[in-house]
Chain A
Amino acid sequence: MQKIRNFCVIAHIDHGKSTLSDRLLEYTNTISKREMQDQALDNMDLERERGITIKSHAIQLSYQRPSDGETYTFNLIDTPGHVDFSYEVSRSIAACEGALLLVDATQGIQAQTISNLYLALDQGLEIIPVVNKIDMPNAMVEEVSDQIVELIGCAPEDIIPASGKTGAGVQDILEAIVERIPPPTGEPEEPLQALIFDSIFNSYRGVIAYFRIMNGTLCKGDKVRFVNTGKEYEADEIGILRMDMVPQQELSAGNVGYIITGIKTSREIKVGDTITHVDRPCEESIQGFEDVKPMVYAGIFPIDNDEYEDLRDSLEKLQLNDAALVFEPETSVALGFGFRCGFLGMLHLEIVQERLSREFDMEVITTVPNVSYFAYTKRGEKLTIHTPSDMPEPTVLDYIEEPYIRAQMITKPDFIGPIITLCLEKRGVLINQLYLTSTRVELTFELPLAEIVFDFYDRLKSISRGYASFDYTPIDYRRSDLVKLDILLNGEAVDALSALVHRSKAEAFGRKICKKLKELLPRQQYKIAIQASIGAKVIARETISALRKDVTAKCYGGDITRKRKLLEKQKKGKKKMRQIGKVQVPQKAFLQVLKLD
């Protein structure tokens, strides 16, 4: 156990975590240069394309110290870098004794650097600060080092300058891991206690859980129990994670590995759960288990009603390896049968939508997303509301509570004004303003989650010209004066476009939505009236005039092919539309309507 080091890499998105991880794999010969595909750890296509790590992964490296020839076993745990997945980050961190804190030398400390750092400090991890991307011409190594010294109170010489691109500093990092990160503690003889920090789905093997053994020893064939779900299984296969899975007969305290138990869906395995033996269970589970709850809900409907069952199949398959996705059947007057789905955040929603299209060839309509609310009735019931149409009638409703978050933003002093204005406009309350250095300010706000779901992040980036980073954690539910805003097309309410909005903003919001719909809906042979209303009161309207002429002038010999192709293409586009009453609504309109500038 003295020769084991468990660590993770924490960084703000794009600060080079995946790239540096690749270098570590290469320097320890875990992977040859030839096998090296950039960012070997991001193995879903989607991840590689988007350049973000969605699921965390773990890999074992063997490091032979040049000084004395001794070999050390490193378990590197890659953590996801997006706010939507912060619970998974915290579990990955809990499996480690140390962390490389990576800061981009051109960017300096950002919001996720800090939020992830706090998670690591909470778990008592040893921090190895690294200033990355020193090869870049605009690297500000000294300035960024000063920021790090101020942030964590380390000595300037503790900071390792490095580049994931050129490999500079990688040797120093490997040495620091051996020297500074403590070996794991834990008793191999104690009752088994292993933390599940991640799981993946494999279509042949079922669900594979990744764990870190805190105490005890796990052998192949053992009967195990997952403490929080209470389920029992047999350890069909256990092993360690090299570039491939390597089966082992036993693993003991301090080690990181995988277990296969024949579980078929990811939902059966909860990240943060504890594995123990059925025969000799541990007394308590490992701290910090949480059942992750969706933060954002949206309806997902097939474009063609006939594809409802296919959509259900696809969602079930997606769920096999995306434990955070939840869904239940939903019926919409406008869109027919579909599903109300819960997501960790907007990125998660987009990823699900994209995977549906890519992996299952399912084109879907996603409705206006919303957060989940508590509605209190006059009879004193408390209802959880996932969709505006479930909101009780005004006569029955007493009041509504909506979820709040605490948001941390780090920026340059120049942008404090515009950011505060934005947050106030979003119904935020300023909690704290802290100068990290003379050029970096941290702003803490409490905001309704609903206000940041849609365009907050984009707007933050644009008003700060990219110089603001953002992170958030949910805090509580608060009473709010919300109203249901309905959108009507030709007098028919389109439930899929309804939204719950704060009363003070309803009118402006309604006007913007009507205007946006006017841009998004193609003209048709009929006049289309677009209205926004609260209850029976219409608060905004727009009209799309009827298309009077839709005919190409000529159609001679040569034009026939060209024209046919054009009409076929247009028809294909139209297939991606949904008919509501007599109105054709493009698939994308339901989401785009919210991208109000």
Chain B
Amino acid sequence: MPDQSLYIHVPFCKRACHYCDFHFSTVQKHKKEVLEAMLLELDLRKGELPDRNLCSIYFGGGTPSLLSISELNVFFDHIARYFNWGRKTEITLEANPDDLSEAYLKSLLKETPINRLSIGVQSFAEEDLRYMGRIHTAREAEEVLFKAQDLGFEKLSIDLIFGGPTTSDEIWAANLEKAASLQVQHLSCYALTVEERTALGYRVRKDLSPQPSESRAARQFEYLMAFAERQDYEPYEISNFARKGHRAIHNSLYWQGAPYLGIGPSAHSFDGHRRRRWNVANNGLYLKCLTTGQPPWEEECLTSEQRYNELVLTRLRTLEGLSAKAIQDLGENYLQHFLRQAKSLQAEKLLEEEKGWYRLSRAGRLLADFVARELFWV
């Protein structure tokens, strides 16, 4: 079965978190039309995936947990017209803690094929949540995790954010401990990034909020790596940590360069070779395109150099790393370039090699972008 996945972007949120620059709308007036347009898009683009069998279906956003059970099932019915999924298929719903009532959780389990939750916890500390503008409380987050596990969700992931001005080293350590003690098997941990077009970006620009401290983020990232090792979380990608058997299939496919089809405003797609497409990140324009029969996407065809750069960028973020063989498949000149550039990075102990596989060292993980730039071909 070829590895391929389907992504559904649900472009709505109840309220904008201060740091977030994903695409979503807090106006839900056109929710029904947008969801219908997404079904239409699926009708149009089903052929972009090479096979009927899906390894992963992922509802991301925005806030997919805003969808009712029946709205979700309309999607599944539609997807089933064109694709198959089995017991092994990872079917993930991104969810915010405040949406996950006991009733909703029960229905998700019983009435939909969803078998994995990725929960936007971000922190178990109240001051962090307020700073980030999250809607839920620390307590809610904790309770939701208990409930979900009690009801039988085996595959759970949570997002955590570190490095912000409210996140002291103590809070960060406590957050990680809490996750481990709650038996969360998969963690996605991100450094707080100030994006320009967000409330936080505005506040930092206007000097109303401090610029997050780089040394704090670096320290907390180092702590995270040590914690992961101690607690048997595999750092299988720079920001992703999983206990054995709990790696996210969906994310892994991205980094392996597998084909994926993304449906909905701002969703991206890749044909597994050279073509990338991305949908317009605007609900109104998206609707207009689909109702007037125009493609909602732009696309680019990767040059060999860009493919090489993407290979370097994505593979080096993974624990397995990048094989000389994979580079050579793109052309001997790329391999030569890579080897030349890699030399000084190895000397600086940022990059390690073993049996033709190149990986970031622990120090290299903190400087992954630097390493990638050094190796890029421009």
Contacts and interface: CB of A to CB of B under 8 A. Distances in A.
Interface string B232-244: 0000011100000
A567 B373 contact: yes
Given A560-B254, A564-B313, A568-B376, A550 B369 contact: yes
B300 interface: yes
Interface in B307-333: 309-310, 313-314, 317
A553 interface: yes
A553 B239 contact: yes
Central interface residue in A525, A547, A564, A570, by most chain B CB within 10 Å: A564
B368 A551 contact: yes
Tell me what chain A mostly uses at the interface: helix, strand, loop, or mixed. Answer: helix
Contacts of B300: 561
B306 A554 contact: no
A34 interface: no
A99 B313 CA distance: 66
A557 B368 contact: no
B262 interface: yes
Kindly name the residue among A551, A563, A572 whose own CB sees the greatest number of chain B CB atoms within 10 A.
Answer: A551
Interface residues of A, number: 24
Given A525-B367, A548-B366, A550-B367, A567 B372 contact: yes
Interface string A539-557: 0000000011111111111
Given A548-B366, A567-B373, A561 B190 contact: no
Contact of B260 (A525, A557, A568, A572): A557
B103 interface: no
A277 B365 CA distance: 78
B45 to A, nearest CB: 15
Given A560-B314, A564-B313, A549 B378 contact: no
Given A557-B260, A560-B310, A561-B278, A550 B190 contact: no
A558 B278 contact: yes
A556 B376 contact: no
Contacts of A551: 191, 238, 365-369
B193 interface: yes
A215 to B, nearest CB: 63
A312 interface: no
Given A548-B218, A557-B260, A571 B378 contact: yes
A553 B317 CA distance: 11
B124 interface: no
A570 B366 CA distance: 17
A575 interface: yes
A574 B374 CA distance: 10
B4 interface: no
Contact of B254 (A549, A553, A556): A556
B214 interface: yes
B370 interface: yes
A558 B378 contact: no
B366 A550 contact: yes
Interface string A301-323: 00000000000000000000000
Contact of A550 (B7, B310, B370, B376): B370
Nearest to B254: A557
Contacts of A548: 214-215, 218, 366
Contacts of B190: 553-554
A564 B316 CA distance: 13
Contacts of A552: 193, 368-369
A391 to B, nearest CB: 35
9 contacts: A547-B214, A550-B368, A550-B370, A551-B238, A558-B262, A560-B314, A567-B373, A567-B376, A574-B373
Interface of B: 7, 190-191, 193, 214-215, 217-218, 221, 237-239, 251, 254-255, 260, 262, 266-268, 270, 276, 278, 300, 306, 309-310, 313-314, 317, 348, 365-370, 372-373, 376, 378
Top 9 A-B pairs, shortest CB-CB distance: A558-B268, A553-B190, A548-B218, A551-B368, A549-B218, A550-B370, A571-B373, A550-B369, A550-B367
Given A525-B348, A548-B214, A564-B309, 10 more contacts: A550-B369, A551-B366, A551-B367, A553-B239, A555-B317, A560-B314, A564-B310, A564-B313, A567-B369, A570-B373
